[in-house]
Amino acid sequence: MENELLINKRYVKGLRLASVTLFGLYLIGFLNITFVPATQILFVKQMATILMVTGFIVFGAIATLIGSDNYKICLFFAVAMQIAFPLVFGALINYEFSMINGNELFGGRLMDYAFIGAAGPMVVSVLFARFYLSIFFVVYNFLLALFQAYNTIAIENTFFSFDYNEIATNINAINGGIFSQNLTYLLVVAVGLITLAWVIESNLREATLQERSNNILGRYFSPEVRDEIEKNKLDFNQNSEKEQNIAVMFTDISDFTKLSEGLEPKDVLKLLSEYQTKMVAAVFQNGGSVDKFIGDSVMATFGTPVSRGNDAQNALNCIRQMQISMREWEKERSDKDLPVIKHRVGVHYGSCFVGNVGSEDRVEFTVIGDTVNVASRICEACKEVKSDVLMSDEVKLRLSENLPTEEVKNFEVRGRDKKITLHKLTV
């Protein structure tokens, strides 16, 4: 679904570019018909003028109004115009020739102009950025050129000749050399344009995959981190796992089990989505990365995949923004007579394994280590020590400010022998 949206976005750009180009071409055609005496029949001049005006109005409107929501209708009008134009314009020219006895006046020399109008529409068709549509227009205009050539060949008494004297003196002689050159030229153009359309389609698919990859990065990493990943061309598919010092944060909703007990599943999902959206926004705005969602818990890291400088301070700034968001949300829910949501936050700093884990079928970029386990336990400890926010001593020592806290010394982390010092924060 996401791939289709990205491809459609690029299709819109292609149709807009084609429409701008065709708008200019139809406008030039209108000016030529208006100021250059190329036609002798008034009716033909009037109808050609209407055709050109219709063309630059249609494509001007498409170029101005096109968007993802109306792409199909715009494409319909563009395709219809490009199909109808050569038929109508060709019919007008044939009508004028019949009125002035053009077949008798020009004879076989009409063949010199049979292919002249085909190349332009064929070239423009590639701008639509749709492979099969480009092939259709290339073949369509090529066949129209062949049909025009057939009409010349069908003129009574016309014949092919390669004799210069005969070509110069006999009006019915078709210049075989020019015919073969024009036909070869048009074939080369057709094959070249089909190849170009295929290359554009391939590049479109690759660019779409790249954009989708960037969008996926944007779901886990803040814009600044994502830009640095792209700038330094970090490859998450390579086996370049490493150990580095980072800040790990866990958040979860207080009494979530009790809170969700009386809610419908869709309401639980809505609640979680609102909470996670607020947490992710705070993480991203402070240079962090979202590692994963675990039920009502959010795991975030600061310093992955690359350090942003003072990762511990970034984690603290993130907590401050989280608490502001939670207080605003609390007021919103209170005004709607909904249960107030509280949450807990725990953060720890230390060495972690950072890289890809999993199997050949599914790989996840994550962090693993004792630091992660301790950060999770610190978040759980908020309930035990009656605090909304807890940080380890390792985090506090790395802050760039002297933050007043209440110490909890010799705290015993569940499942771990070594005791740690925690700090209660009022944010």
- 298-320 pLDDT, tens per residue? 999 998 887 878 899 999 999 99
Q: 240-425 maps to which CATH number?
A: 3.30.70.1230
DSSP letter at 118?
Answer: T
Task: Label residue 99 by pLDDT band (50, 70, 90).
Answer: confident
Which residue would you say has higher pLDDT here, 389 or 111?
389
CA 130 → CA 6, 13, 74, 227, distances in Å? 14, 11, 14, 30
Q: What is the pTM (predicted TM-score) of this model?
A: 0.54
Q: Average pLDDT for residues 358-363, to the nearest whole number?
A: 63
Lowest mean pLDDT among 85-94, 109-118, 206-215: 206-215
Helix or strand (DSSP H, E) at 159: strand 159-161
Backbone angles phi, psi at 414, to 5 degrees: -60, 130
CA 365 → CA 221, 235, 400, 414, 427, distances in Å? 11, 11, 29, 27, 31
pLDDT at 91 over 90: no
d(CA 282, CA 290): 10
Q: Average pLDDT for residues 273-301, to the nearest whole number?
A: 90
pLDDT at 52 over 80: yes
pLDDT of residue 364: 67
pLDDT of residue 230: 56
Task: Label residue 326 by pLDDT band (50, 70, 90).
Answer: very high
170-193 per-position pLDDT tens digit = 988 999 998 999 899 999 999 999
* Domain edges within the chain: 2-217, 240-425
**Dihedral angle sign, alpha carbons of residues 272, 274, 275, 277:** positive
What percentage of the chain exceeds 70 in pLDDT?
87
pLDDT at 231 over 60: no
pLDDT of residue 2: 44
Backbone angles phi, psi at 358, to 5 degrees: 130, -160
d(CA 233, CA 153): 61
